[in-house]
Homo-oligomer: A and B are copies of this chain.
Amino acid sequence: MESTESPSATATLLVSCADQSGLVAAISGFLTESSGNILDLEQHVDSSEKAFFMRVEWELEGFNIARDQIVTSLKPLLARFDMQWSLHFSDTRPQVALFVTRDNHCLYDILSRHQSGDLRMDVPLIISNHRTLEPVAQQFGIPFYHIPITSETKPAQEHIQIALLRENNIDTLVLARYMQILSEDFVSQFPNQIINIHHSFLPAFPGARPYHSAHKRGVKIIGATSHYVTSDLDEGPIITQDVIRVSHRETVGDFIRKGKDLEKIVLTRALWRHLQRRVLVYNNRTVVFA
């Protein structure tokens, strides 16, 4: 059940811990005892890693525990199972910053989806190392920050970026074809909060110019991959991927043109799932609940 269908506010709890008996019973029992009506519950056990993951969403209306008391009430249970957890409310909108360079397709896709209400988020700012897309930001009335990057200025400019992100309480960064590599220091400040789109089906063709490499190799399928950014370039946990067929008739230019459809759709899908709090990360992999 999704927020588009259930206008009343919900809480979502994400937990992970070592697998053990009684986990589902403990959490579902806790919610039931406080009259929490579970709207959606998904759990996953990775048996080879002995790891447990759960996402549970329940209605706040009728729930006997006040919002600001939920964490306190849950604490003993979370401690007993040594759980990692996060708690989210459907009426608290994620604050998302978009990073772009020159290509407009991912930016338009996200902003038009946002405009039509499909992405539950606010976009307080767009950051770019070029001015090319400033008019698009203006079209949608979103503040645009032009922060050019050179190898010399990068550390200083990243400080400015981070300050802007902090001022705006940004919790999610989307690299919508941002053609700069973030420093390890930058990345470490936003773990599992930076979503990138790479224009190949990783792990094939990491790095620069993947369509050129794909064309040279003569593949019959090209792809796009959305992943969380880590300090290893194009090696972060994959959220979603998609592909499209190509043939010998198609030039690199055709790959680029067709690939844009993949890139924008894969990125926006990943963002949607992230905003729905359906993604958990472990061992550089993701659990993506349906």
Which residues of A line the B interface, CB within 8 A?
1-2, 4-6, 21-26, 28-29, 31-33, 35-48, 103-105, 108-109, 112-113, 115-116, 118, 139, 201-205, 217-221, 223, 237-243, 245, 247-249, 251, 253-254, 257, 260-261, 265, 268-269, 283-288, 290
Q: Which 8 A-B pairs have the closest CB atoms?
A: A218-B285, A25-B32, A204-B204, A25-B28, A108-B112, A139-B139, A24-B28, A22-B32
Q: Is there an interface contact between A218 and B238, defined as CB atoms closer than 8 Å?
A: yes
Q: Is there an interface contact between B247 and A5, defined as CB atoms closer than 8 Å?
A: no
Nearest CB in chain B to that of A258: its residue:
B269
A265 to B201, CA, bound (A): 19
Copies of this chain held together in the complex: 4
List chain B residues, Cβ under 8 A from A257: 4, 118
CB distance from A56 to the nearest CB of B (A): 9
Q: Is there an interface contact between B223 and A202, defined as CB atoms closer than 8 Å?
A: no
Give the dominant DSSP class at A's interface: mixed
Q: Is there an interface contact between B290 and A5, defined as CB atoms closer than 8 Å?
A: no
Q: Is there an interface contact between B104 and A251, defined as CB atoms closer than 8 Å?
A: no
List chain B residues, Cβ under 8 A from A243: 201, 221, 243
Say yes or no: A218-B284 contact (C-beta < 8 A), given A201-B201, A253-B2: yes
Say yes or no: A265-B254 contact (C-beta < 8 A), given A1-B47, A218-B286: no
Complex A-B: 19 CB contacts under 8 Å: A4-B251, A4-B254, A24-B24, A26-B32, A28-B28, A28-B29, A48-B251, A103-B116, A118-B260, A139-B139, A202-B217, A203-B204, A203-B219, A204-B204, A219-B238, A220-B239, A220-B240, A248-B287, A248-B288
Q: Is there an interface contact between A203 and B205, defined as CB atoms closer than 8 Å?
A: yes
Q: Is there an interface contact between A217 and B204, defined as CB atoms closer than 8 Å?
A: no
Q: Is there an interface contact between A47 and B116, defined as CB atoms closer than 8 Å?
A: no
Residue from B21, B108, B238, B239 in contact with A217 in the complex, judged by beta carbons closer than 8 Å: B238
CB distance from A206 to the nearest CB of B (A): 10
Q: Is there an interface contact between B32 and A249, defined as CB atoms closer than 8 Å?
A: no
Q: Is there an interface contact between B5 and A47, defined as CB atoms closer than 8 Å?
A: yes
Q: Is there an interface contact between B116 and A247, defined as CB atoms closer than 8 Å?
A: no
List chain B residues, Cβ under 8 A from A45: 1, 38-40
Residue from B21, B31, B238 in contact with A32 in the complex, judged by beta carbons closer than 8 Å: B21
A288 to B247, CA, bound (A): 8
Nearest CB in chain B to that of A33: its residue:
B25
Q: Is there an interface contact between A5 and B103, defined as CB atoms closer than 8 Å?
A: no
A171 to B27, CA, bound (A): 37
CB distance from A201 to the nearest CB of B (A): 6
List chain B residues, Cβ under 8 A from A23: 38
Q: Is there an interface contact between B205 and A219, defined as CB atoms closer than 8 Å?
A: no
